[in-house]
Amino acid sequence: MFFAVALNQTSYTRTDLSGITRAVNRLFQMPVMLLFRHGETLTLALINRRLHKRDESKDVLEKVTLIKDIRFANPHRAHIEILSDLSFDALLEKHSFTNFVTLHAAWQKALDSSELNKRFFLEVANWYFWALNHIEFPKDAPKQDGRDHISVIRLITRLMFCWFIKEKGLVPDTLFDERKLGQILNGFAPNGEADNPVCQQNKAKKQTGLSASPQSVYYKAILQNLFFATLNTEMDKRGWTKEEQNFMAHSLYRYRDLFQNPAAALDLFKNIPFLNGGLFECLDKDLGEKATPRYLRIDGFSRRADSQAVVPDFLFFGPEREVDLSADYGDPKFKRVKVRGLIHTLDHYKFTITENTPIEEEIALDPELSGKVFENLLAAYNPETGATARKQTGSFYTPREIVDYMVDEALIACLKTKVEQTILSASPLFVSHKNRADRIVCFTFVQTLQPGNRNPSHPPPPAPLDPGRSHLLHHLPPR
């Protein structure tokens, strides 16, 4: 069944919409798909149901899947593609369903967030191996086979974190908008040197009035200033470095001459919060007068051309092209791989700042993905795990379902032990009903701690024994 529901408020959380979806589905003996309208957006909700193992006349309501906040006026391209995948013709061609049960299964496969995550990781991994051939960090940066594996992984992790906080509205879209950047930066070459005559002239001379080769304008002027002089610097301490001063002062902005209007450039960053985290700490260091060499250059946040990193603009904004990555993967099937600028890849997907759970998920990339990308790329780089990780293309990571199961089982075991030690030993009422009481108290405790987060696929606790739960709850520890 399909219901369209007009809601009064303009914004609802994922949990709110999941709760409504469950409530409606409890009223019917078949799955109900809901289309919510709230404000200027739509949300499509689908629930997974299965037969009750002990009572076939009932269904167990499992995970709710949402395509959330689809804008009327300017829908995200990821939403358009997801909805296209859900169209009747697309589902029929890919899954060949013949009845409602197989159609429902086709919906579930089309809305499988794990497949979305794998597709995204493969795109990022392809970019990573492609970028290694074009990026050069300073000589002090750790290298393997002459390439900057660790520095490129760090760059990807930093940029992905920025993308998530951009979704929260903490970083302006302008910093990632190719068209607007062309009006802000000098020498910006999003398609490579061929599209910028300034780049061609300076390529032969290797001397320029700019702080760096124009092919690396975006990374230096925007990303390094965002990482080090903005996110890692308190808001009231930000500003430009002064001529011939502030050597190794990484809390100040650099590359003034890469901006068409340096005074206005500071406005791009002024409202971005200070995060006070190690991820954005500049790794260039002054080791002291007695050290040899004294200065350690890893990130290359410097006005000296010989101390800077080279990260070409086309790696962020270049159009799609085919490259040979068969040697990187150790597999001939990667001989013709499509890659594109990393900003284009990030912009192609919908991100959410709310992590998915076993009982509700949004078809979008959630913050857990940052850790997945980081660990998989590290595994691909590590000589001991590299061959295996590259073949698994994104599976070198503990799946969320296994983590959830391990946490649930550990929590239940811990609670049962605590119950036996604190409640059952003091309650003669439960001496002859110990196992049943354990289950009651454990589920009661879990529901008390997080009433909205109990997995609905778990069987409910049995009916409480008299005199009721209130007697038990008084014995629970304050925490």
> In which band, very low, low, confident or very high, does the pLDDT at 366 lie, cut at 50, 70 and 90?
confident
Predicted local confidence at residue 389, as pLDDT: 44
Best CA proximity match to 152, nearest among 167, 136, 170: 136
Predicted local confidence at residue 199, as pLDDT: 43
Strand partners, 295: 286
Q: Where are the domains of the chain?
A: 2-111, 170-317, 401-473
pLDDT of 445 strictly over 70 = no
| Residues 369-373, mean pLDDT to the nearest whole number | 80
Mind listing the pLDDT tens digit for each residue in 221-246? Answer: 999 999 999 999 999 999 999 877 77
Neighbours of 21 (CB within 10 A): 25
Task: Let me know: does 271 contact 260? Beta carbons within 8 Å.
Answer: no
Provide the 8-state DSSP code for 477: -
Q: How far is CA 395 from CA 35, 129, 373, in A?
A: 33, 17, 10
Best CA proximity match to 154, nearest among 374, 306, 424: 374
Predicted local confidence at residue 282, as pLDDT: 94
Q: Return the higher-pLDDT residue of 7 and 367.
A: 7
In this predicted structure, which of 106-115, 247-256, 272-281, 301-310 has the lowest mean pLDDT? 106-115
Mind listing the pLDDT tens digit for each residue in 152-190? Answer: 999 999 999 999 999 889 999 999 999 999 999 999 999
Mean pLDDT of all residues in the chain? 80
Give me the amino acid identity at 165: I
In this predicted structure, which of 32-41, 106-115, 435-444 has the lowest mean pLDDT? 435-444
| Residues 218-223, mean pLDDT to the nearest whole number | 96
In this predicted structure, which of 145-149, 204-208, 382-386 has the lowest mean pLDDT? 204-208
Predicted local confidence at residue 135, as pLDDT: 94
In this predicted structure, which of 78-87, 111-120, 333-342 has the lowest mean pLDDT? 111-120
Predicted local confidence at residue 60, as pLDDT: 81
Cα separation, 101 vs 169, whole angstroms? 41
pLDDT of 383 strictly over 80 = no
> In which band, very low, low, confident or very high, does the pLDDT at 437 lie, cut at 50, 70 and 90?
very low
| Residues 264-291, mean pLDDT to the nearest whole number | 90
pLDDT of 417 strictly over 50 = yes
